[in-house]
Structure 1
């Protein structure tokens, strides 16, 4: 993609980020994003098939930005790396609950582009957790990663939507990892 097109695409994404910082996803109008990015609505749709597609990309970029902005933890055992990683995920959504809500809303999308982006995000998180569990000698590390990822998602839903204290979410993911520590080979 030529540099001017990459720059235009990034302006659209940045405008979408700004809009999400100021209001709920459901209230954001795609025409406002186009206007803020200084592009025609038709041009926006050449880059993104739908509002959902645009915001799936925003969610992915947010996750990548958050990951790169976090300081790297010191080397630790596999279980401690899993603990650090899941706590970082929970904390990121604690700081920006609108991104967790966006993730929940986008899960219902039938748009294949949205589903591809979300599948990639989930797969990456589970792969990293599985590598941490594998380093710790946990049997069936992919299963442990899938369960921890699902537990974190469920607990975050309770935290973001129902007011469960985030400290309780952190405590329970720690408890899960502690239980798994007994299952290491």
Structure 2
């Protein structure tokens, strides 16, 4: 996207913002590409010049929406255990506030659209990088493996809570238990 001229970046951002607003207001299954075009005040053909499908639009929405959650902490030198616990609790709380976004995230994990799939791979990579940074004291491979395990737990627990009606408190409890297991091996800073 950074190789686009500024006006195209602005138009793309306008489309993503409009699609995000629609998802906040209604279920993904009820949103049509025409709705996104209308909300963004662009022609349907223009929308398709930027995005190959509805899945592609909403993969971009997820990337944009999640940036604050996965952004690196600003020079946080506190204990790794606290950093990872707060980060994971923040991820859960963010999806708890917007369960429709989690549903889209789950739906897009198996998208056939190559553009959406690439964005979803980036989304997962950013999430894993953000988590593994707090496990850095475990070494490169083990921090990456631990982040993958934690991301799997978060996804499983959120699926149970947001898609299948299990208590959200279970998600917080299980991720805290995982952090408790790993915490003794994390460096204090």
> Structure 2: how far apart are the matches of 1:109 and 1:98?
17
Q: Give deviations 1:56-104, integer Å, cap 9, x for gaps.
A: 0001000014556x98695322222111111111011011111100101
Counterpart position of 2:8? 5
Unaligned runs of 5+ in 2: none
Q: Go from structure 1 to structure 2 and tell me whether the alpha carbon gap of 1:98 and 1:107 turns closer, same or farther (over 3 Å shift).
A: same
> Structure 2: how far apart are the matches of 1:141 and 1:174?
17
Counterpart position of 2:124? 122
Equivalent residue in structure 1 for 2:30, among 21, 27, 48: 27
- Does the CA-based 8 Å contact 2:70-2:127 persist in structure 1? no
Per the TM alignment, residue 39 of structure 1 is displaced from its structure 2 partner at its CA by: 1.3
Equivalent residue in structure 1 for 2:112, among 104, 110, 113: 110
TM-score w.r.t. length of structure 2:
0.88
Equivalent residue in structure 1 for 2:157, among 151, 155, 158: 155
Q: Give deviations 1:151-176, integer Å, cap 9, x for gaps.
A: 01000000101222222211110101
Per the TM alignment, residue 28 of structure 1 is displaced from its structure 2 partner at its CA by: 0.3
Counterpart position of 1:54? 57
> Structure 2: how far apart are the matches of 1:139 and 1:53?
31
> Structure 2: how far apart are the matches of 1:74 and 1:99?
28
Q: Which moved more, 1:88-97 or 1:12-21?
A: 12-21
Q: Give deviations 1:23-58, integer Å, cap 9, x for gaps.
A: 111110101211221211111100001110011000
Q: Which moved more, 1:118-127 or 1:43-52?
A: 118-127
Equivalent residue in structure 1 for 2:48, among 45, 53, 56: 45
DSSP 3-state at the match of 2:134: helix
Q: Go from structure 1 to structure 2 and tell me whether the alpha carbon gap of 1:89 and 1:124 turns closer, same or farther (over 3 Å shift).
A: same
Per the TM alignment, residue 105 of structure 1 is displaced from its structure 2 partner at its CA by: 0.9
Unaligned runs of 5+ in 1: none
DSSP 3-state at the match of 1:140: helix
RMSD: 2.3
